[in-house]
Structure formats: C-alpha cells, structure tokens
Structure 1
Amino acid sequence: MRSASHSPIGVFDSGVGGLTVLKSLLSHLPHESTLYLGDTARVPYGTKSGEVVTRYSLKNASFLMERGIKLLVVACNTASAVALPALAAALPIPVLGVIAPGAAAALRQSRGGQVGVIGTPGTIRSGAYQRELEAAAGPGGVRVKARACPLFVPLAEEGWLAGDVPRLVAREYLADFVQEGVDTLVLGCTHYPLLKDIIAEVVGPGVALVDSAEATVHVVARLLAERGLLAPAGGTPTHHAFVTDVPERFVEVGARFLGRPIASAEQVDLSF
C-alpha cells in the first residue's frame, strides 16, 4: 500500500488557469506527484453563482479524492472565494485555497497598507480578498481597492500577452489604482500571471505585484512538512491531467500556462 507521503497533490480549477499554480508546485516541490482537474465543460466559474460554484467544486474534489490525493489545492480564485468552507467540511484531508496566502503575501509586501486586488467578477463580487486582507491587517490596517478585469482571461488564453491591445486594456482597468496610491497589487486570478509584464509596465515599478499561485505553494510546502507528508527525494513523481471537455484545446492552451508541453489530458464525465 502506498504511504500518504507518496500520494499525489490534487489541484482543480475551472479550466487552464490553475496550471499557473501547478507550474509553481512543480518548480518548488519537484518530488511531488500531482493530479490536475480542469472543469473545462463548465468554465468560467467567475460569472456563476456561489451555490453553483460550490456544487461544482464538491464534485471536483470528490473525483480527486477517489484517486487518493493527500492534499487539495483549490487553484480557482472564484471557488476559493465561495466554496472553501464547504470543501474543508466535506474532506478528511487538508484543503487550501489561493486567497488567504495571496492576501498574507500582499500585506507582507505593502509599504503603506494600500492594496489593490484584481480578479474575475465572481471573485471580486464575493469580497473574499477584501475580507481576508482586512481581517489579517486589523482595524484601519489596510485600504483595499478591488476591481474585476474580465478581459484579462481571454487575452491570456489567446496568447495576447504583449503589445497595444493588452496594454490598452490594462490601462483602462488599472490607471486609477496608480492615481490612488496603491502600492501592492494582488493578481487574484490564475490567468493574470501570464500578463504580469504588461500589468507591471502599466502600474510602474512602485507597485509590487503579488502572484497568489506562488504564495499558495509556499503554504503547501510548509503544511506538508509539518504533517510529515512531503514526498521523499529520489522517487519518480507522476503527473496526470483530467478535463471535462475539449482535451485538445486544454493541451494546446495549457502549455502556455504551465510553461512546458502537456503530453495528454484525459476527458472525464462529472455530470450530475
């Protein structure tokens, strides 16, 4: 029987965006095996109700649990915002979202407590980042400016990562963040790290960018170490990807997010 430390880490997202979290996992925890599930049949989650996103998230988690994961990373910011309590209550393993780690990293980097958050409409509407930042900072410790930037998602998926089009979109979304003195900006969607260079150009060097994916993986590493669940060095990790629709597009677009080719993705049926 496989020991818990040799079991894979499970990661799910509504589509390809969570591959930026997986990319960070593979970089920082190279001995770990992973299972990734992209719910591409129901993407995007960011425009759906909290009730629906929670239902989808529980189904995703159940699929990964059946395959023996030792820890679940909810890579989707929208699912992290609305479904994390239900997932934590339903699963017997550690469950991590991307919002609390991203908020904590932003507070560590902020010089003056002026923090911006950008994300999907669902993430921003939930207020999850705002609540997390304000709770962690204490009364009067942070001022949060949040905005949904929905056009960043199709730009990232189509590979429009440089040039006039993404620059104009970023200026439209972010100009007043700079004017209002935001000193730290949380990239609160897993697609947004692909546009990091354009975003940095628009907001300027005085604004620190926080990638929630990177921040989350540091918490994963610490939690696995504390629980004695780190995979031992010297083994041969395995990595499998599952999607609920159009695996060919996932493989093609996902390589851009993962930073390396994706050999294949198995299509699975998670219909209710």
Structure 2
Amino acid sequence: MKQAIGFIDSGVGGLTVVKEVLKQLPHEQIYYLGDTARCPYGPRDIEEVKEFTWQMTNFLVEQGVKMIVIACNTATAAALKDIRANLNIPIIGVIQPGSRAALKETRNNHIGVIGTVGTVQSLAYPNALRGLNQYVEVDSLACPKFVPIVESFEYKSPIAKKIVAESLLPLKSTKIDTLILGCTHYPLLKPIIENVMGDDVTVINSGEETASEVSALLDYHDLLEKQVGKINHRFFTTGSVDIFKDIASDWLDFKDMVVEHIHLG
C-alpha cells in the first residue's frame, strides 16, 4: 500500500507546489489539506497560525503520511521549526528552497520578496537569504490583496491585473533583478506579475526547488515510491468544496477530482 506525501496550506496556494512535485515524482501519492475556511493566514497572530498549522499536521499524520510539506510561507515561518523538532517524519517548508533558487538566478545580488503580511513581518526570507549570502540586498513587500483574488477564483480576471499592477508599484523603482513569490498562492498570478515587472526581473516560484528537495529527502530516507501501482490522491478542505475543486481541477488539470470537507479545531 502506497504511503502518501502530505501537503498543508492555508488554502489552495500549496497546489502550486503539488503541481511541481507531481511533475518530478509521478508515482507518488498526494494527500493535500487546504484550510480555506480560515484563510488567509497572513494577517493572523503568529501563535494562531502555529496552532492552525499543528491542527493540519496532526490530521495528516493520522492519515499515515510519510512526509509533510508545509506548502505555505506564513505557516513555514511560524511553525516549521517547532513541528520539525516534534515529529519523526521528514518535514519541509518552502522558504529555504525559494531562497536558494533566487540566489542562483540573481545577477546583481538585489532580490525582491512579495508575500503576506505575516511572512514579510517575520523577516524569514531576508534571514534565509542573508544566511546563504551575507552580501545580498532584499526589498520585501506585503501584498495582502493577492490571496483573496486566488481563493475567489479571480486570478485570470481584469481586476486581478489591476490589483497586481497597483500592489507592485513600490518595487518598480528598486534595483531588484529577481523576485521571490513568497506565498504559494502567488504563482497562480505569475503571468500577470511577470508582465508587470518586465523582462529584466526573474520571477521565482519556489515550488520547483521545493519539489527537488522533496525528492532528495525521500531518497535519503529510502521513502521514494518505486511502484507504478494505483494512485489514490486525496484532497481535503475546511471550506467550500466546490470552489476548491474548481481551482484545483483548473490548476492541476485533474478530471473527476474528489474533494472531502473536514472540520479542524
């Protein structure tokens, strides 16, 4: 029987990481939990985010997952260290992989980060980036309007283009040549963000780098799925099943997706 990789997020954003993992590890089984009823996490108190993240983690541990990916930057900043110290399965966040990817790409050591209020206030990205390269300059910008656009399935709408253009205006006058999407919801807005920032700025989706880390860690712990057998992905949400299903089906190109509603806390 296949053991699944567990993914947790405040909503649908972590599906951007799932998409990259499925590309690299097509034989793996995925269990995904999006806490859409309590999304967004960005404006919440850090202790509340930590509590919610533990609730999601414990739910997936009860389902027997072999690894957990905290596919949410706000939750990673708040709870990764604590959860990693208290569980005996591999736990991965998205901040370190995103930071490494940005440092590979930058040509002038001037990196921008956009994220939720919680992620930006935590200084998790500047700390991670400077921990790897002490000479890097970091411009951080909170974009609190982005997550509601994605969660309401409006990320392809004209209003999305307007909000993204207005929100990113402060970064246009900086010298950044690389921009980290410091929230896993933001890759669904990536085409608009790239258009606004222009060809001179490389936009980093940390999902690809996170997927590589998932693969390496599973291999290290001898947990990689080598059997081609039947795969039974499971998706859970605390909010609207229909909205979650619409976004997940569109982003992952899954047909006949089954989404289960659960309660937490």
Verify same fold: TM over 0.5: yes
CA contact (8 A) 2:40 2:148 kept: no
**Pairing 1:83-102 to 2, within 5 Å after superposition:** 83-102=79-98
Amino acid at match of 1:19: L
Shift of 1:265: 1.2
Q: Relative to structure 2, which stretch is displaced further, 247-256 or 158-167?
A: 158-167
Map 1:106-145; keep pairs closer than 5 Å: 106-138=102-134, 141-145=135-139
Q: Does 1:154 align with 2:157?
A: no
Structure 2 residue 217 is matched with structure 1 residue 223: yes
Verify: 1:247 aligned to 2:249, yes or no: no
Q: Which residue of 2 aligns with 1:207?
A: 201
For 2:88 and 2:118, how far apart are their aligned partners in 1?
27
State the SS of the aligned residue for 2:12: coil
- State how far apart, in whole Å, the 1-side matches of 2:61 and 2:257 are: 23
Once the two structures are superposed, what CA deviation does each residue of 1:98-133 show, in whole Å capped at 9, x if it has no partner?
011001110111111100000111111111111111
Deviates more, 1:174-183 or 1:71-80: 174-183
Equivalent AA in structure 2 for residue 181 of structure 1? K
Residues 1:171 and 2:175 aligned together: no
Deviations 1:160-199 (A, max 9, x none): 4456533332232223323211000001111111111111
What's the secondary structure of 2:226's corresponding residue?
Answer: coil
Corresponding residue number in structure 2 for 1:234: 228
Q: What does residue range 25-64 of structure 1 map to in structure 2 within 5 Å?
A: 25-64=21-60
CA distance in 1, matches of 2:164, 2:246: 25
TM-score by length of 2: 0.94
In structure 1, C-alpha distance between the alignment counterparts of 2:96 and 2:85, rounded to whole Å: 17
Give identity over the alignment, percent. Answer: 42
CA-CA distance at 1:233 after TM superposition: 4.0
Deviates more, 1:169-178 or 1:22-31: 169-178
One-letter amino acid of the structure 2 residue matched with residue 98 of structure 1:
V
- Structure 1 pair 37/244, CA: closer, same or farther in 2 (3 Å)? same
* Counterparts of 2:6 and 2:258, CA distance in 1: 17
* Match for residue 77 of structure 1 among 73, 76, 96: 73
Which stretches in structure 2 are left out of the alignment for 5+ residues? none
Structure 1 SS opposite 2:113: strand
Q: Cα 1:74–1:104, aligned 2, differ >3 Å: closer, same or farther?
A: same
Cα RMSD for the two superposed structures: 1.6
The count of aligned residue pairs is: 265
Q: Distance in 2 between matches of 1:163 and 1:234?
A: 39
CA contact (8 A) 1:77 1:190 kept: yes
**Contact 2:36/2:237 (8 A) holds in 1:** yes
Q: TM-score, normalised by structure 1?
A: 0.92
SS of match in other structure, 2:213: helix
